[in-house]
Amino acid sequence: MSLFRVALAQINTTVGDLDGNAEKVRKGIAEAKAMGANLVAFPELTITGYPPEDLLFKPRFIADNRARLDSLIPETKGITAVVGFVDADKDIYNAAAILHNGKLAGVYRKMYLPNYGVFDEDRYFKAGHSCPVFDIGGAMVGVNICEDIWYPGGPTLHQANAGAQIIISINGSPYYAGKVGYREKFVATRAIDHGLYVCYVNIAGGQDELVFDGNSVIFNPDGEAMVRGKVFEEDMVVADLSLTAIMGHRLRAPLHRKVKPATLPDGVSAPVVHLDPLPAAQRPALPARKLETIEPIAEIYKALVTGVGDYVRKNGFKRVLFGMSGGIDSSIVAAIATDALGPESVIGIGMPSRYSSKSSLEDAQALAKNLGIEFHVIGIEPAFEAMLSMLGGMFEGTEPNVAEENIQSRIRGNILMAISNKFGWLVLATGNKTEMAMGFATLYGDMAGGYAVIKDVQKTTVYELARYRNRAAGKPLIPESVLTKPASPELKADQRTEESLLPFHILDPILKAYVEEERSYADMLSMGFSEAHVKRVISQVDKNEYKRRQAPPGVKITTRAFGRDRRLPIVNKYRAF
């Protein structure tokens, strides 16, 4: 065999939807066969969806996952399929099944189990100790899973030493801004290191707080991307891999001959498994594909759209609603929700009080018209007056402060949740990462909701996203006045967010250093930040952990989001300065 045709089925799985995930595999196998592929690969934990978390503690879930895998075996007559599943044998393993010509030909068990950031694989799985190579009619194919490909001395090395020409890497690699380029450098390096093809297949879609970017890719032995999958969308990525070119590459790059083969670690094996040749198949010509790129801010925007759309649809909601104030945060949430779900599924609720400016309501109405979404105005002044009257005795003799401000926010939260309960619509929270970090948010008020769209988006990035969306539309979809007016929650007269906090261009870099990069107090001072500013930020971030713990989930788009990524105690006397 001189050419080996590989298909990467970049699908959007759903955790726990065993039947739906298996059906996607069934369709993917059929599509790959029709394209004349010798092998089709699916993402990590295809059958269960990724990440299945504590569903893995349910024995029936494990058994049902195996039953769905077994049901797929007959579908593989005439093709090889690599399918992620949970394998069980006295323990459980994150595994890949190699289904070949109607039989289960082998199983690869993930060797490197990540246990950092959003990953908890040591909590669930036992590591594998065998990295086989499958001889498929003369094509030598190694299979490994996600984290395994990142290590120079990992299974790819042992499979290459055992004769692998092609590595199939199945992945559930979550997105954050900038990760794609970083990830591809590692994968391309493995191809160069060992003079082989690396075929990297990833999930596309959202699961709770995580969003998966797809970007499945095939690298040739020179580390060049041959073909790449779509961004955040399902796709079938197909390429013809020249096995004779592998030999030619190794002859031209004799460095590989000088590298002493690594000794297998104790207990690790790299057997060669010989499979029956597949029958010859018709090979239609492959359509030309461009290696498209996407600008960073567009990538973030698309990640948010994907995360919101999948969270809403996979949880069975038909419509969403949110408070639409005419400010920048609710405006970008409106645009994202509309792009994710369609204008017919989005409802904005304007809830003005005595402190709301006329221009803010006009901006909200203009945006709703531009997006084509439903918009309702429910004034909160009667409820505010009633609450002030009810609390008059208790508050007598005190000066108005944040308590009166937050009453307005909580009335709004109450209204949104009442509408949600009445019609079964999901409430989207509109708070951003900057304000959540500093505690500039109201529990049971603007924090109320089922999903926080921009929870992991700093305020400065919110403005970038709005400008990007307007550029993409070719017009001021989000009114220019929204972008230029000072940010304000409008809970008291002449209120300005940057006066209550710090200017965003100063605040956001400090927050990034402290929250996302874990910089120390001394580090931040050496970076040129003001001592007073750093102390203030550290203090406010630390003391508001209790609020963030009660916030709804939201799309992760940075290296360290609030939630799964960052788990700090609420009761915490440690101070960083």
The CATH number of the domain holding residue 516 is 3.40.50.620
Short-list 405, 343, 350, 407, CA closest to 369:
343
Is residue 131 situated within a structural domain? yes
Dist CA 291 CA 271 (whole Å) = 36
> Which stretch of 51-60, 216-225, 281-290, 346-355 has the lowest confidence by average pLDDT?
281-290
| pLDDT > 90 in the chain, percent | 84
Please say if the pLDDT value at position 99 is more than 80.
yes
> Which stretch of 204-213, 270-279, 432-441, 468-477 has the lowest confidence by average pLDDT?
270-279
Which of these is catalytic: 33, 110, 302, 556?
110
The pTM assigned to this predicted structure is 0.93
Would strands 39-41 and 80-88 be described as parallel, antiparallel, or unpaired? parallel
Residue 238 and residue 170 in one domain: yes
Residue 65 and residue 205 in one domain: yes
Dist CA 368 CA 245 (whole Å) = 57
Average pLDDT over residues 297-308: 97
What is the residue whose two structure tokens read 């599509």? 31
Please state, as a whole number, how many other Cβ atoms lie within 10 Å of the Cβ of residue 125. Answer: 19
Average pLDDT over residues 198-218: 97
Dist CA 379 CA 412 (whole Å) = 9
Average pLDDT over residues 76-88: 97
Residue 89 and residue 193 in one domain: yes
Handedness of CA 407, 410, 415, 416 (dihedral sign): positive
At residue 259, the pLDDT reads 56
Residue 28 and residue 124 in one domain: yes
Contact 556, 455 (CB under 8 A): no
Dist CA 162 CA 427 (whole Å) = 54
Is residue 284 situated within a structural domain? no
Amino acid at 159: Q
Please say if the pLDDT value at position 247 is more than 80.
no
Specify burial of residue 150 (Cβ count, 10 A radius: 0-12, 13-18, 19+): middle
Average pLDDT over residues 150-179: 93
At residue 293, the pLDDT reads 83
Q: Which domain, by its residues, includes 244?
A: 3-265
Residue 45 and residue 106 in one domain: yes
Q: In angstroms, how far is CA 241 from the centroid of its own chain?
A: 30
Dist CA 207 CA 43 (whole Å) = 14
Residue 160 and residue 44 in one domain: yes
**Tokens (6 digits) for 497:** 């967010």
Is residue 559 situated within a structural domain? no
Contact 487, 496 (CB under 8 A): yes
CA distances from 324 to 35, 192, 418, 504 (A): 48, 52, 16, 22
Please say if the pLDDT value at position 261 is more than 80.
no
Q: How many domains does the chain have?
A: 2
pLDDT digits (tens, 9 = 90+) for 359-405: 999 999 999 999 999 999 999 999 999 999 999 999 999 999 999 99
Is residue 112 situated within a structural domain? yes
53 is catalytic: no
Mean of the per-residue pLDDT values of the chain: 94
The CATH number of the domain holding residue 67 is 3.60.110.10
Average pLDDT over residues 537-545: 95
Strands, E assignment, 316-412: 320-323, 346-350, 374-377
3-state helix, strand, coil in the chain (%, to 5): 40, 20, 40
Is residue 568 situated within a structural domain? no
Average pLDDT over residues 211-229: 95
Residue 166 and residue 96 in one domain: yes
44 is catalytic: yes
Q: Which residues does 341 contact at the CB level (< 8 Å), separation at least 6?
A: 308, 309, 312, 313, 319, 320
Dist CA 490 CA 500 (whole Å) = 12
**Tokens (6 digits) for 127:** 């590591």
Which of these is catalytic: 44, 75, 147, 209?
44
Is residue 566 situated within a structural domain? no
At residue 253, the pLDDT reads 67
Q: Which residues does 408 contact at the CB level (< 8 Å), separation at least 6?
A: 353, 355, 380, 384, 445, 491
Is residue 383 situated within a structural domain? yes
Is residue 571 situated within a structural domain? no
| Residue at which a domain ends, from 244, 265, 286 | 265
Contact 128, 88 (CB under 8 A): no
Residue 314 and residue 393 in one domain: yes
Residue 253 and residue 343 in one domain: no
Residue 258 and residue 381 in one domain: no
At residue 289, the pLDDT reads 86
Q: Which residues does 339 contact at the CB level (< 8 Å), separation at least 6?
A: 305
Please say if the pLDDT value at position 152 is more than 80.
yes
110 is catalytic: yes
Residue 333 and residue 253 in one domain: no
At residue 248, the pLDDT reads 73
Which of these is catalytic: 146, 314, 433, 490?
146
Residue 106 and residue 212 in one domain: yes
At residue 386, the pLDDT reads 96
